[in-house]
Structure 1
Amino acid sequence: MKKYNSILKYIFVMFAALIITGCVHDDKYDEPNLDNYQCRSASYYTDPANGYEKWTLAQLKSQTASTAITKKAYVEAYVSSSDETGNIYKTLYVQDNPKNPTQGLTISLDAVSLYTKFPQGSKVYLDVQGLAITTYGGVKQLGKITPAGTRVPEKEVNMHVFRDCDINTRAEIVPKVMTLTDMVSLNDDLIGCLIQINNVEFDGRALCTPYAPNGVTVDKTIGEGWDAANKKYLKTAVVRNSGYASFANQTIPGGNGSLVAIYSKYNSTYQMYINRLEDVDMETHKNSAGQIDSYPRLDGVQSNPCQFSATGLTVKTIAEVKQLNTSANWTQITGDFYVKAQVTANDATGNLFKYVYIEDVTGGLRVNMNKNDLFLDNRFRLGKDVYIKLKGLYLRNVNGEIQLGGLYTPPATGQPQFGQIEEPEIYKHFFDTNTLARPVVPTERTISSLTTADVGRWVKFKDLQFIDGDLGKTYAVGTAATNRTLQDCSGNTIILRTSGQADFGSSDNPKKASATEVEGGKGDVYAIVSIFNGTYQLWITRLTDIDLDNPRCDGSVYTPLPVLYKDDFAAGGFGADWTTVNVAGPNQFWNTSNQGNGSNYYAVVNGVLGNINEDWLISKTVSLVGKTKAAVSFTTDVRYSGPALQVYATENYTGNPATTTWVALPASLDTNTAAFGDWVSSGNVDLAAFLGKNVRIAFKYTSTSSAAATWEIDDFKIKGQ
């Protein structure tokens, strides 16, 4: 099965580190004990008997790329980085001088806690024979070419990087002062150096958010200079933060000041890595006269934008907020109002997209924001209470549901429309209450008792089941939103609406809505109540929101179709279960691959531009004799433009696709040709026409001289009973 695994080893190491350092907020640590660490002195390298040639960092970086260095050479450098806080991982940054450096370098090492052996400022010697200069993201780095990658293996680090034995050679690294405007290719020699940027601030999208959500690496933008006419920074760059850093959950400072960080880039995007939190001085920054000058910011913000104050504001309930909507189009909120409410549903599983639901004792409300992964923001975590300043926001009745949002102007029409609150504006309206999340308590309702006052609420329904016609179906088909129908034992029904983009599992165990069958029993359902043109509909946020483990209303127990045959290609190769046939084009066949997927394989085929290809992948025969129901399911992933994959079934394969009678199957296929990774389930494709017979399933790939897509198949199953 194709899965996208996290770096488990990294997680375990950093989790252990967080247990130890999780309560540290000032980033002040004890000095590392350097006793008994392997070291070398300058005399070792200058001794003619040892035969070393001295290189500069510039000479080292000029070596032939991706080729092991054969010369016995060494380089002197000073460590500019520290992985002490966990924001830098398996990387050592060095520069040629502690002050006014002219060259920096990224060293890729398969080792952690490097600061204990090579603290910032240490003079080190790089013994480069056997290593190689490679390039990643446009940045030259020193490593070793191995089957596992280009990091120097941990057991070999002490063969290539040595601290100077004279502890007095440890120097203070004085950050090189730069501006964001200086971040151009002309200064790429400085990548890896410690730099300082003055008079900068984090942009509005970053304000009032943490440096990084737990376990997630994110980019935050800083800006310098301000274009008042166009309301944007004159120059920006990226500060890249790890969700495993000890300071990850600390709030981004809201003021203006200086930033000390490691200088780097990825392709054409310049970025910086913070060593420690004390290197960010944007709240209590002082000018040359000793006066704090963090505010006002360049963009005009006068004081800390993340501190909520109710002074001069009037509190409103959600019911009162809804009553402010008086226009058939939209209503702008002009009063100095605020609301305090609890987040009852967010986008953690992708079933909701760019909106959350909030609720107080008077009702619930959908809030639209133009930002991905809202659930990673502390303010929008499930169960959190949030303050919302309402002035300047908009209300609209959208198909019967009053929603809170903003206005935007589509370029195609040039006319404003109601939609989402733009990301740079979020900090102006949403404030963390700085209280712990509390349990979300549902309101109990029955289908027949629902009223419009329940729209937006988190509601519990008892004793519901999916209708007979939905049994055996998945929650969604393809990537589109799909309706399924729930009913109570009196026959009252309500729609459950699920996005095909939803994934109710994890990165290690995905449970895509389009690949997960609905439950067949009866039980409790927890969901947000919505409405569309007078029809109530429900949205869940997790699979556990539907708990249908009891017998159905008629006392029966539903049993999903048993799997008769499956192949997830996990071991690689097809074996005797599959037949591959090349009909047209070069000698092109279906294969299996695990590219980008660790040990998990999948079936794959891609044509060659300039040729017309036809290639078949045909399953073994599976008997449906004696079966009264049967279906086939699989997942697909496509990249690049080209003809759609065709799926067929036959009861009598002749050995030649051209002379076999095929029946086309209406399977849902991936349609996103722009990227890999968005696997789409076919759903349970009915095989009723083949009951009582033997069946084979075939995948027909074609390409043209100008369009050749890559198609991947996984999780193949034939089910029946």
Structure 2
Amino acid sequence: MKRIINVNRILNVLFLMLLLSCVQDDDFSVPSDLNEDENKSLNQILEGLKDGALNEISIASLNQQFVAGEVVQFASHSVVKGYVTSSDKTGNFYKEIYIQDSPSNPTMAISIVLNQVDSYNQFNLGREVYILLQDLYLGETASEVFAIGGEEDGSRVGLLTENQIKTHLFRSTETVEIIPLELNFSDINENYVGMFVAINNVEFPESLEGQSYFNAVDDFDTQRKMQRCEGFSYEEFSLETSSFSTFKNEILPTQNGTIKGVISKSYGGDDFVLVLNDTKDVVFNNPRCIPLNADDFTIIFEETFNDAIDEDILDTEGWINFAERGQVLWTEQIYSKNGYAEFGTFGATDTQNVAWLVSPAINMDAYDNEFLNFKMGQHHITSVRNTIEVLASTDFNGSDVLNATWTEIDAKVPTKYDEWYAFKDSGLIDISQFSGILYFAFKVTGSGTNEALDGSYQLDDFRVLTEK
């Protein structure tokens, strides 16, 4: 579906013709200066921004105009500026460039799909670029990545042609250092796609020792699992390597360290992946990490839900199961002889469901250095509006859930990109700032009538611990 946005035809397409083409370098050096045509075109853009003939729009503003599954054509004389975060110098990126809105602490990034290889000769890592948007298209790629393209290709954007690159995509003389944004695997979501990031305390599983970045049995891309210690287990993420990369046959490092790359998505958009610009950004010189040992902690309270009765309403002793909206409650489930709690609205008739599962009381004054830990999974979560919140209260009276003061806890919870039915460790969550009698709650928002909001969240192995 095509929509026209920011209609402003006062200036017609003849304005574009005044912007002379940008010439790609034929050699393999990256120039610090621009040729005469490039200087003239860039100066015209800068003058247009200065006198109001052109309007600068942020990548974040473009994202607000973006509607998944739709392609929109730019009609206004707008320009977006960014800094290149990806490089096809090693062949690991192909006919795409990612740019983010700032060299450090970026807030948003976007892909530009273009019919050009060896684009690093012109749009090198850290290069400041300007994109003249009129008549280009905003949408997503086949990988469901937010992107600018040169045509409408069904529900996707198509590549900028060679002529469109010359008349719409401009580099300045500025090349800056891109400071990687430091993240954990569990932090990664849609907002970070296209950004250059660094992840610390990373290693490849021992099962991959001796393996290369690319698996020869794959046709196009290989995903290698990475892991980092988090609490009592590992959290995982995938590194994706192209069959065309120059480093595909390099052997994976066996130690632990820091990896830098660009957040992207696998083909089809099913998974987030990390994509390397170069293996120079993989610095694994530290000893491998070891997850925490539960024997080093004293368990203050634990609920494994192992007494669950499959598909019954959850009535575990001491827990409060409360429906704020709708009729659906948390249930007890069993899979492979393992009991757990689950909330899902599939098959329900309520337009909105909000349900709480509240823990028994914990006396925080009886201990020091307390931590919260649990495992959580999901299945059929497809929307960011189908949410789960982890909350804590010190003024809950044990019965009136809605009149208590609840503080949200920064906890790792599943997203729609996590594997279904795979329980993930929350890590150790420091709760020592609380005192008195403390309750925890897991609050889910969903819908029984909206298929996008009828997914399920699963909770297991809830523990409050203190260090011995």
Q: What's the offset of the Cα at 1:85?
A: 0.5
- 1 CA distance for matches of 2:336 and 2:83? 54
Instruction: Give the C-alpha shift of residue 95 in structure 1.
Output: 0.5
Please name the residue that 1:158 is paired with.
Answer: 166
Equivalent residue, structure 2, for 1:255: 255
Question: Would you say 1:110 and 2:115 are equivalent positions?
Answer: yes
Q: TM (normalized to structure 2)?
A: 0.50
Which of 224, 235, 238 is matched with 1:220 structurally? Answer: 224
Corresponding residue for 1:295? 287
| Aligned with residue 271 of structure 2, among 264, 269, 272 | 269
Amino acid paired to 2:38: Q
**Alignment partner of 1:202: what SS?**
coil
Please list, as runs of the form range in 1=range in 2, the aligned pairs for 1:612-623 lying within 5 A after superposition: none
Shift of 1:224: 1.6
Residues 1:86 and 2:95 are matched in the alignment:
no
**Once the two structures are superposed, what CA deviation does each residue of 1:204-259 show, in whole Å capped at 9, x if it has no partner?**
3433211114663111111122565xxx51x2111110111111110011111001
Task: Say whether residues 1:45 and 2:37 are aligned partners.
Answer: no
**Alpha-carbon deviation of 1:133?**
1.6
Paired residue for 2:245? 245
| d(CA) in 1 for partners of 2:82, 2:34 | 21
Q: Does the Cα contact within 8 Å between 1:80 and 1:173 map onto a contact in 2?
A: yes
Alignment deviations for residues 359-381 of structure 1 (CA, whole Å, 9 cap, x no partner): xxxxxxxxxxxxxxxxxxxxxxx
The amino acid across from 1:66 in the alignment is: V
Q: Which runs of 5+ in 1 are unaligned?
A: 1-28, 285-293, 301-410, 414-721
Task: Give the whole-Å Cα distance in 2 for the aligned partners of 1:159 and 1:134.
Answer: 20
Q: Which moved more, 1:63-72 or 1:38-47?
A: 38-47
Contact 1:260 1:279 survives alignment (8 Å): yes
- CA 1:248–1:299 in 2, change beyond 3 Å: closer, same or farther? farther
Say if 1:208 and 1:161 are closer, same or farther in 2 by CA, change over 3 A: same
Q: How big is each residue's C-alpha offset from its partner over 1:420-460, in whole Å with a ceiling of 9 and x where there is no partner?
A: xxxxxxxxxxxxxxxxxxxxxxxxxxxxxxxxxxxxxxxxx
Quote the residue 1:357 is aligned against.
none
How big is the shift at 1:69? 1.0
Note the C-alpha offset of 1:138.
Answer: 3.6
Q: Distance in 2 between matches of 1:34 and 1:245?
A: 29
The gaps in structure 2 that reach 5 residues or longer are 1-27, 293-334, 338-468
- In structure 2, the CA distance between the partners of 1:213 and 1:46, relative to structure 1 (3 Å rule), is same
The AA in structure 1 aligned to 2:253 is: P
Quick check: 1:73–1:129 contact (8 Å CA) kept in 2? yes
Residue in structure 2 matched with residue 424 of structure 1 by the alignment: none
How many Å separate the matches in 2 of 1:278 and 1:140?
27
Q: Equivalent residues in 2 for 1:316-335 (5 A)?
A: none
SS at match of 1:174: coil
CA contact (8 A) 1:32 1:115 kept: no
Aligned pairs (5 A) from 1:452-601: none
Matches within 5 A, 1:33-72: 35-36=34-35, 38-39=38-39, 40-41=42-43, 43-48=46-51, 51-64=53-66, 65-72=70-77
- The residue number in structure 1 matching 2:137 is 132
Once the two structures are TM-superposed, the CA of residue 134 in structure 1 deviates from its matched residue by: 1.3
Q: 1:297 to 1:152 in 2, by over 3 A?
A: same
Q: 1:202 aligns with which of 177, 201, 204?
A: 204
Contact 1:226–1:298 under 8 Å retained in 2? no
Aligned pairs (5 A) from 1:624-643 = none
Offset at 1:264? Answer: 2.0
| 1:267-316 deviation line (CA, Å, top 9, x unaligned) | 3522111001100111x3xxxxxxxxx2134479xxxxxxxxxxxxxxxx
Whole-angstrom distance in 2 between the partners of 1:32 and 1:204: 43
Identity %: 25
- Structure 2 partner of 1:317: none
The one-letter amino acid of 1:275's match is N
Q: Is the 8 A contact 2:184 2:200 kept in 1?
A: yes
Residue 144 (structure 2) pairs with residue 141 (structure 1): no
Residues in 1 aligned to 2:148 and 2:31: alpha-carbon distance in whole angstroms: 25
Higher relative contact order (CA 8 A, sep 6+): 2
* 1:321-358 Cα deviation digits (max 9, x unpaired): xxxxxxxxxxxxxxxxxxxxxxxxxxxxxxxxxxxxxx
Preserved CA contact (<8 Å) 1:121 1:171? yes
Looking at structure 2, the residues matched to 141 and 91 of structure 1 have their Cα atoms a distance apart, in angstroms, of 9
Q: Name 2:187's counterpart in structure 1.
A: 182
Is the 8 Å Cα contact of residues 124 and 162 (structure 1) preserved in structure 2? yes
Aligned-residue offset at 1:62:
2.5
Q: Give, as a single letter, the amino acid of the residue that structure 2 aligns with 1:263.
A: I
Q: Are the structure 2 counterparts of residues 243 and 56 from structure 1 closer, same or farther at C-alpha, using a change threshold of 3 Å?
A: same
Normalized against structure 1, the TM-score is what?
0.33
Amino acid at match of 1:114: S
Does the 8 Å contact 2:137/2:152 carry over to 1? no
SS of alignment partner, residue 47 of structure 2: helix
Q: Match of 1:254, SS?
A: coil
Distance 1:68 1:265 in 2: 24
Residue 259 of structure 1 aligns with an amino acid whose one-letter code is I
Amino acid corresponding to residue 251 of structure 2 in structure 1: T
One-letter code aligned to 2:166: N
| Alignment partners' CA distance in 2, 1:103 and 1:44 | 26
Cα distance in 1 for partners of 2:137, 2:153 equals 14
One-letter identity of the residue aligned with 2:49: T
Structure 1 residue ranges (4+ consecutive) displaced by more than 6 angstroms after TM superposition: none
Maintained 8 Å contact 2:139/2:147: yes
How has the CA–CA distance of structure 1 residues 299 and 202 changed in structure 2, closer, same or farther, with 3 Å as cutoff? farther
What is the RMSD of the two structures over their aligned residues, measured on CA atoms?
Answer: 2.8
In the alignment, is the contact (CA less than 8 A) between 2:104 and 2:178 conserved in 1? yes
Indicate the residue corresponding to 2:14 in structure 1: none
1:90 and 1:126 mapped to 2: Cα distance?
16
Q: Which amino acid aligns with 1:281?
A: V
